[in-house]
Amino acid sequence: MRKAFIVSVLALVAALLYPSAASAALPDWNMTGQYQITFAGSYFHTMTIDVIALNTDPGTFSGTGVWNDDPVGYTWTVTGHLDGSKLDFHIVYTGTGAGYWVDAIGTVAADGTLSGTGIDSSNFSFSWYSTSGTATALEGPGLWPSNHQADVTNCDGYHGPDTNNFCYATGEGGVELGVRFTTSVPIDVVGVRIYRVDAGSVTGSLWSGDGTQQLATGSFAPKSDHGWQDLVFSQPVAIVPGQTYVASYHAPSGDYAFEYSYAFPKTVGPITALGGVNGVYTYCGPDPCFPATFSGTNYWVTPLWADTTPPVLSLPSDITAQATGPSGAVVTFSATAEDAVDGVVPVVCIPASGSTFPLGTTKVDCSATDTSGNKATGSFKVTVNYAWLGFFSPVDKDMLNKAKAGSAIPVKFSLGGDMGLDIFTAGYPASRNSACVVGDGVDPIEETVTAGGSSLSYDPSTGVYTYVWKTQKAWATKCRELVVKLADGSEHVAYFKFT
């Protein structure tokens, strides 16, 4: 049964991966759970893929699966990356049967528009939907992590502590509970995290500091046990320094966790839960009458924020160094990065400071990534040159050097030390015809040597290179340039008039 699976990806998980928040400028996505692929056409097959988010990059995922109704176990793999605007995917089918293949690469935009290669056919259709998975915007950091356990405190006749050491009240009637906070930098609030006790229909909100303006709201997923839970708003909300905000949730049954006399203020990154009497509540309905407080009580609610601004890199200007040996030079430099949320963050440069840079120009690529995954990149150049000091006697670089055609002229120079004998660019030194007008006059060559051909030597006692240039008799009455092009890319010219 020979089949060629040439697949058409139709509106690939647009509704799943991009709900109403699809257009939100969210920093990344998390995708975990079980997803099902169904092929319909001349043949019908269904395959379940277990998708896992890769720890190295929360937006990157991969999964594997086999045909549900095929004992041979033809294997599918899917890899991809999600961000706030698109899904990039690569789906590969590998089977033992002849003619079984799919290699689909493409992108699904937030609106469901598909583009890609290797995927188009009227005979087969392809769909991908979740059976038990989730694809949600990453919630970002909060004042407390989602695995935080409370310190054991006096519950003062109320329930608790529970298994996570939280005191809690029950049956108190519908209540809105929150925390006042500020930010030190402009940032996006993307949701609310709460330690949940109430099993009813719980909602979370972001408010202005006086509780009169609701900036965002949403409903938490159902949950019957005690524990931390996150709500991601359909749209992030930009907040600014100098303003007070309230993150809250509504517990319809009046079941909530608390801690008396909590030690506010508390600062995490740019967010500070205000000191003094914090922890706000109201029983006057879903619209809170903040700022009612009681005993500085912490109701275990925190905003979730998304840092979408990369660090600021401070890199050196282009660097020029002198070679210290045939391999180049060791070059050190300072590269730093400052993040508005994380402060100083490490910088990775390739090649790193303290590396041996070869002759010529090398590009140094640097990057810094903050704890939210925002990455800044930059580069500069390191150029390593020989320490060229000019031509030495008997050659004068500023005048026409008068010499007898056919003689061997010792061309002497220094590069600042012993750089080995492989110092010339291939094909050099070279000579070419030249006009007989240079400088202020003609300087006779005082020294020639006997040589059968051109050669190069180095004298360690003087640190001087000598290139013996064997000239040609045919150059009599003519002028020529000797071009010395070195391995560092620099070019040096001496001028000669032959008799």
Amino acid at 51: V
Tokens of 472: 């040609």
What is the token pair recorded at 337? 């990065």
Fold held by 167-306:
Jelly Rolls (2.60.120)
Instruction: Write out pLDDT tens, residues 437-473.
Output: 765 556 566 555 555 667 899 999 999 999 999 999 9
Band of pLDDT at residue 76, cut at 50, 70 and 90? low
Nearest residue to 63 (alpha-carbon basis) of 102, 34, 100: 34
Contact status, residue 170 vs residue 249, Cβ threshold 8 Å: no
Decide the pairing of beta strands 400-403 and 491-498. parallel
Segments making up each domain of the chain, as ranges: 14-137, 167-306, 312-385, 391-498
> For 389-407, b where at least 16 C-beta lie within 10 A, e where not — what string?
eebbebbbeebbbbbebeb
Cα–Cα distance, 27 to 92 (Å, whole number): 28
CA–CA separation, 351 and 479 (whole Å): 45
The residue with tokens 């698109």 is 86
The yes-or-no answer to whether 14-137 and 167-306 have a common fold is: no
Of residues 21 and 478, more confidently modeled = 478
**Is residue 358 helix, strand or coil?**
coil
* pLDDT per residue as tens digits for the range 358-406: 999 999 999 998 877 788 999 999 999 999 989 999 998 778 899 999 9
Say what the pLDDT of residue 39 is: 43
| Pair 322, 385: CB distance under 8 Å | yes
Burial bucket for residue 160 (CB in 10 Å: 0-12, 13-18, 19+): buried
| Highest averaged pLDDT of the listed ranges 65-79, 128-142, 150-164 | 150-164
**Confidence at residue 496, expressed as pLDDT on a 0 to 100 scale:** 92
Looking at 3.40.50, 2.40.128, 3.40.640, 2.60.40, the CATH number of the domain 14-137 comes to 2.40.128
Give me the mean pLDDT over the 327-345 stretch.
Answer: 91
Please identify, in words, the CATH class of the domain defined by 391-498.
mainly beta
Position 66 scores a pLDDT of 52
pLDDT of residue 343: 83
Chain centre distance of CA 424: 40
Q: What DSSP state is assigned to residue 317? A: P
CATH 2.60.40.10 matches 312-385: yes
Using a pLDDT cut of 70, give the percent of the chain over it: 67
pLDDT tens digits, 150-173:
988 889 889 989 989 999 999 888
Q: Are the C-beta atoms of 401 and 494 separated by less than 8 Å?
A: yes
Confidence of residue 211 (pLDDT cuts 50, 70, 90): confident
pTM: 0.54
